[in-house]
Amino acid sequence: MSASEKAKATTEQASGKVKEAAGRTVGNEKLTAEGRAEQVTGDAREAKEKLKDAARD
């Protein structure tokens, strides 16, 4: 996994968790959903990079 893609995935996952938690705290469903979506995007990016790494090996 390239370092920049790994960093992007980690950043998306972390910011998604923060948004989701903030949304739950203030009762904002839109913010909660945005946070979940960012986490999913980060998870997908990470999975894609892992598949690339596995294909190289």
SS3 content of the chain, % helix, strand, coil (to 5): 90, 0, 10
Q: State the pLDDT at residue 1.
A: 57
Give the C-alpha separation, 2 to 8, whole Å: 10
CB 16 within 8 A of CB 45: no
Dihedral of alpha carbons 39, 40, 46, 50, sign: positive
pLDDT one digit per residue (tens) for the chain, 57 residues: 578 888 999 999 999 999 999 999 999 999 999 999 999 999 999 999 999 888 887
Pair of tokens at residue 2: 């390239």
Q: State the pLDDT at residue 45.
A: 94
